[in-house]
Amino acid sequence: MSHHAPHHRLVDVPGGRIHLVEQGTGPLVLLVHGFPESWYSWRHQLPVLAEAGFRAVAIDVRGYGRSSKPREVDAYRMLAHVADNVGVVRALGAETATIVGHDWGSAIAANSALLRPDVFTAVGLLSVPYAPRGGPRPTDAFAMIGGGDEEFYVSYFQEEGTAEAEIEPDVRGWLAGFYAGLSADTMPSPDHPSLHFVARGGRMSDRFGPASRLPSWLAEADLDVYAGEFERTGMTGALNRYRNVDRDWEDLAPWDGAPITQPSLFIGGDQDASTTWLADAIKAYPRTLPGLVSSHILEGCGHWVQQERAFEVNRLLVEWLRAFHVA
């Protein structure tokens, strides 16, 4: 095993501070988690990447964990996340990095690579495919996805305080239901109402299904780590990412339809709506991700790919990294 134990530190970036955990030495690989998670989502990747000869660094995205949690909603715009990532690379004394993201972290990683190709020389995307900026205003598009009596979860998350009021009274129970609802081994049957829609006037957790067991990848102790972070921070910082979708669409107008040309990787799960709903985005990869090295859809895998299928994801990540980092 690696001689380098994981090391926690806080680094200053122009927008505040970012908490990170690093392990290993070598070319920098920056790992960016999604909603509602933590640096801890990469606990299975850090030692393996370190052992393979890389400096693996998992951050708490702003609004999460021990990173800064600004008050203003617009402090969570995509441009701020990109700036944080550039700041982290600089604070670590590196010129360039490979960036890998999951869920919202995938979008943050993609935009970091798109806006700062001088810093982010390769990009790995987990669960959420790259789709260039375009189309109608996002909240208008999401409003059309919902029916008369229910709304798309991103629309439900828009109003400040609504989702917080649902989640914060029982953070641990809510997280358990959310993680289980999107995991291949515990997700409700296909005829169960989708977790991705909320009945008007209802709550997302109404759709969780029976909370009888945790998914196999999530031990009680792991859930304690996640719950402890959100019990301390609250949910607003995490939810504010969703509250910037229109602002991002405006900010990113200069990159409308732009491809990402660096060496890239995609890994999704065939039971994950984040992957399957965006099948057209994956089909468009020859145009939108011309530097794609490899793309993988894992069978029988849900949303939490790097935790549900740690061994497989680690193998794919290391193979991909070695393709353009000659030891």
- What pLDDT, on the 0 to 100 scale, is given for residue 199? 92
- What pLDDT, on the 0 to 100 scale, is given for residue 1? 46
- Of the candidates 84, 103, 248, 272, the residue annotated as catalytic is 103
Residues of the chain below pLDDT 70: 1-3, 211, 326-327
Residue with token string 């894992």: 298
H helices present in the chain, as ranges: 46-51, 78-91, 104-115, 138-145, 153-156, 162-167, 171-181, 220-233, 236-239, 245-251, 273-276, 279-283, 285-288, 305-308, 310-324
Q: Does 103 participate in catalysis according to the annotation? A: yes
The number of residues making up the chain comes to 327
Phi, psi values for residue 100, rounded to 5°: -130, 130
Q: Does 303 participate in catalysis according to the annotation? A: yes
- What pLDDT, on the 0 to 100 scale, is given for residue 326? 62
DSSP track, 248-291: HHHHTGGGTT----S-EEEEEETT-HHHHTTHHHHHTHHHH-TT
Give the fold, CATH level 3, of 7-135+253-324: Rossmann fold (3.40.50)
- What pLDDT, on the 0 to 100 scale, is given for residue 221? 97
Q: Where are the domains of the chain?
A: 7-135+253-324, 138-239
Q: 3-state DSSP call for residue 2?
A: coil
> Each residue of 71-90: b (16+ CB within 10 Å) or e?
eeeebbbbbbbbbbbbbbbe
- Of the candidates 19, 33, 81, 303, the residue annotated as catalytic is 303
- What pLDDT, on the 0 to 100 scale, is given for residue 148? 78
Paired tokens of 323 = 């393709």
CA angle 276, 113, 238 (to 5 degrees): 65
Residue with token string 């029982």: 170
- What pLDDT, on the 0 to 100 scale, is given for residue 287? 97
| Global pTM exceeds 0.85 | yes
- CB distance 36 to 230 below 8 Å: yes
132 preceded by cis ω (within 30°)? no
Interatomic CA distance for residues 292 and 295, integer angstroms? 7
- CB distance 124 to 111 below 8 Å: no
- What pLDDT, on the 0 to 100 scale, is given for residue 296? 97
Paired tokens of 215 = 């998914």
Query: Bridge-partner residues for 17, per DSSP?
Result: 12
